[in-house]
Structure 1
Amino acid sequence: MGTFVAQSENTKGSKRQPYKPMAEINVTPMVDVMLVLLVIFIVSAPLLSTGVEVNLPEAVTPNLPQDNRALTISINDKQVVTLQNVPVELTNLAARLKAVSDSNPDVRIYVRADKTLSYGIVMGVMTEIYKSGLRNAALVTDTIGRR
């Protein structure tokens, strides 16, 4: 006796196609995630631009190696500006720094300002540094807990 295999009318005489995986990417979930991220950024962007009261002179940073060739500009609480511990008028600072920048344009400048000074005074000194052509300036801060 033989084995009888029944075929349905639909497949009678037709060849079965091998299974092909679907090669489509469903982008709907990705668009949903992107829209949620967009809403989060839109809501949080105004919060980043609002001013937060900070005390800039203190920072948690490692001590950098000392550079003996660097210049130090200090501003004390009486707004006296000194260049390498020699008092200098703010109006003459750019000219003095220009003489240095002609011989060494890559000299590093450390600006040490008393924390009680207003931001505008420190920015005035930074402007004079910029006018002199020097671009490698850094603000010196005190490490938290060092006192």
Structure 2
Amino acid sequence: MSLAQGLGHGGGRRRRRGRRTNVINEINMTPFIDVMLVLLIIFMVAAPMMTVGVPLDLPQTSAGQLNSDAKPLTLSIRQTGQVYLAEAPLRDDEIVPRLNGAAKNGAEERVFVRGDKRVEYGRVAQVMAIVTSGGFRRVALVTEPDAR
């Protein structure tokens, strides 16, 4: 029998049992933060891809962006002259009735006209005249910011 056992110390086991460890009662935030950062990166990459509408090659200008909280009605004019409200094709006689149906604020609704840069200027002016003759006064052209 060894001296330590003879004295009743029981070797190293007894000391480990006698010592109480404090339980950590805090939430580990590291996995939560990691998940949130991954989601942030995913949404930052995916957000530019979520633009809906008719694909157009818009002209570029040096005009600044408009500050608009509400989502405006958007008419798109393709190179062929075809007009779209959102992604639905329209004939000229359908433009005003469909705008009236989609406008939440009536004639005070903002209407954006997006025209492909290869479409004839006369066609864009014709569509804008149809919209303004329908009672809409807040009509604007949409362009892309200049690459410079």
Class of the TM-score when normalised by the shorter of the 2 chains: 0.5 to 0.7
TM-score between both structures, scaled by the size of structure 1: 0.54
SS state of the match for residue 117, structure 1? coil
Q: Percent identity?
A: 33
Unaligned runs of 5+ in 2: 1-57
Q: Which residue of 2 aligns with 1:96?
A: 98
Q: CA RMSD in A?
A: 2.3
Deviation at 1:128, TM superposition (A): 1.1
Matches within 5 A, 1:7-46: none
TM-score by length of 2: 0.54
The equivalent of 2:86 in structure 1 is: 84
Q: Contact conserved, 2:72 with 2:112, CA < 8 A, in 1?
A: yes
* Contact 2:75–2:111 (Cα < 8 Å) also in 1: yes
SS at match of 1:105: helix
Q: Compared with structure 1, are the counterparts of its residues 93 and 59 closer, same or farther at alpha carbon in structure 2 (3 Å cutoff)?
A: same
Structure with more helix by fraction = 2
What per-residue deviation string (whole Å, max 9, x for no partner) do you get for residues 39-63 of structure 1? xxxxxxxxxxxxxxxxx93211222
Give the number of equivalent residue pairs. Answer: 91
Task: Tell me how far apart the structure 2 counterparts of residues 62 and 102 of structure 1 sit (CA, whole Å).
Answer: 26
Secondary structure at the aligned position of 2:114 is classed as strand
Q: Which residue of the partner structure matches residue 142 of structure 1?
A: 144
